[in-house]
Amino acid sequence: MNSLLELPCCQIILYLSFKCLCCRIGHHSTSDDSSAYRSVDEVRLWDSTQHPIARLRAYMVHQNYWDEAKEKQWKDDCKRQVMQSFARAERRQKPSWKEMFTDVYDDMPQHLQ
């Protein structure tokens, strides 16, 4: 925050106008249980009314940067790219099951040898 104080006023206003208040919808990691520190209702509220992607989309539509046609084209392009990548991955030779251990452990534990 101290670095903000060194900026000219107009840059601070621009920064703050694009700074979004967001709430993480999912857990922070696979070992995290966010229900320990926030309710399911709070997460649902943020997901339904304050989702950052929905807010960005609404802003872009309002500014005429985005519309339904662009979104359809973008989704079609993304789907095509994903399917092409999936097909390429499916053609690759599968690694040995042993790699799931050798990739993780530098020295293999005795019980896995």
pLDDT digits (tens, 9 = 90+) for 65-81: 999 999 999 999 999 99
Contact 51, 21 (CB under 8 A): no
Task: With a cut of 80, say whether residue 19 has pLDDT above it.
Answer: no
pLDDT digits (tens, 9 = 90+) for 42-52: 888 877 877 77
Does an H or E element contain 4, and which?
A: helix 2-5
Distances (CA, A) of 94 to 8, 84, 91, 100, 101: 55, 18, 9, 12, 15
Percent of the chain having pLDDT more than 90? 27
Give the pLDDT score at 77: 96
pLDDT band at residue 7 under the 50/70/90 scheme:
low
